[in-house]
Amino acid sequence: MATMVVAREFGGPEVLDLVEADVPSPGPEEVRIVVRAAGVNPADAKLRQGLFGRPPLPLRLGSEVAGVVAEVGSGVDHLRPGDEVVAYRVSGGYATELVTKAANAFRKPADLPFEEAAGLLLAGVTATQALEVAAAGKGDTLLVHGASGGVGQLLVQLARLRGVRVIGTGSARSADVLHELGAEPVEYGDGLAARVRALAPDGVTCAIDLAGTDEALAVSLELVDDRDRIVTAAPGEAAVEAGIRAIGGGPGADPGTAIRNAARADLVRLAGEGSIRVRVARTFPLAEAADAQRLVAEGHSAGKVVLVP
């Protein structure tokens, strides 16, 4: 029997319950994973609220985990029982065990802690897609709104590996973290555009909005001449009307499936090398999944939130 978190109905965090259920043996091309850590993401809350449609209830949550392979199905050649893995995209990651397609699981580098591994892939593939869509490369000056969050921190690191100069917005208390990651921190709020101009008098060539605020949209439009190089992962109606390129799961957004799937193995490699690092802001037990989702919803965790069964 496995313990798992389910939403008994659509609604707020209070609809989450712990239940016990059998986990089937893996079928062809599948693996069963004993979960050591599971990432908590804003998309989980949107699924819980019914914003991605209304799948059957009770609804299992969680799309990224790190753990140990317990059993492999037929046709699985790259993994064996006992292998430590990181997996995305899975279904029902808030659990002690799950079954997923073997293609979603990658060998976890031995030196990468389970908690960090569990927060790597969803944020990492989102960051990779944003950089690809913005065509950010060597010689660019990139403005990142919401740079201190889980996606933002990985995006800064990946951009720096590409030779991109990064100016990252955040609160005053996030400045040290952003500086450590290689970004030039700038505090959001009134006068943001002027502060960015002071840092980059030669201009900003592209912008990525991870904050979804009116300020992020307005400043990006003011500072970046080419709208094709402004990308948002949190599109609102105003961004859509302005012709900003949207990624992720929102209406009219580019899901970027091919880019995201292709990025996973490379992200695991980079994390294993120490070229990128996941900062875990806080961990919670499965029984406190509702509190974990509340913290993520606040948007001030300054890193990844992870469940540890």
**Integer Cα distance of 82 and 48 in angstroms:** 32
pLDDT for position 235:
85
Instruction: Give whole-number Cα distances, 285 to 39, 105, 119, 204, in Å.
Output: 12, 23, 15, 42
> For residue 58, is the peptide bond before it cis, meaning its omega torsion is within 30 degrees of 0?
yes
End-to-end CA distance of the chain: 14
> For residue 89, is the peptide bond before it cis, meaning its omega torsion is within 30 degrees of 0?
yes
pLDDT for position 251:
63
Number of residues assigned to the chain: 309
Residue 26: alpha-carbon gap to chain centroid = 27
Phi-psi domain of 92 (left: phi exceeds 0; alpha: psi -120 through 50; beta: other): left
Angle of the 289-298 helix axis to the 42-49 helix axis, nearest 10: 110
Residue position matching structure tokens 């961004």: 239
Q: Where are the alpha helices (DSSP H) in 166-256?
A: 175-181, 192-199, 214-223, 237-241
Closest CA to 45 of 246, 295, 247, 237: 295
122 burial via Cβ count (<10 Å: 0-12, 13-18, 19+):
buried
**Integer Cα distance of 151 and 301 in angstroms:** 12
- pTM equals 0.95
The tens place of each residue's pLDDT in the chain, 309 residues long, gives 999 999 999 999 999 999 999 999 999 999 999 999 999 999 999 999 998 889 999 999 999 999 999 999 999 999 999 999 999 999 999 999 999 999 999 999 999 999 999 999 999 999 999 999 999 999 999 999 999 999 999 999 999 999 999 999 999 999 999 999 999 999 999 999 999 999 999 999 999 999 999 999 999 999 999 999 999 998 888 888 888 999 986 666 788 999 999 999 999 999 999 999 999 999 999 999 999 999 999 877 789 999 999
Residue position matching structure tokens 């980079």: 270
3: which residues sit within 8 A by CB, 6+ positions away?
A: 18, 19, 20, 95, 96, 286, 309
pLDDT for position 205:
98
Q: Dump strand ranges (E) for 133-200.
A: 141-145, 165-170, 184-187
Angle ∠(262,279,154) on CA atoms, nearest 5: 35
Domains belonging to the chain, first-starting first, are 2-120+278-307 (3.90.180.10), 122-246 (3.40.50.720)
pLDDT for position 252:
67
Residue 173: alpha-carbon gap to chain centroid = 22
Query: For residue 191, which amino acid is it?
Result: G
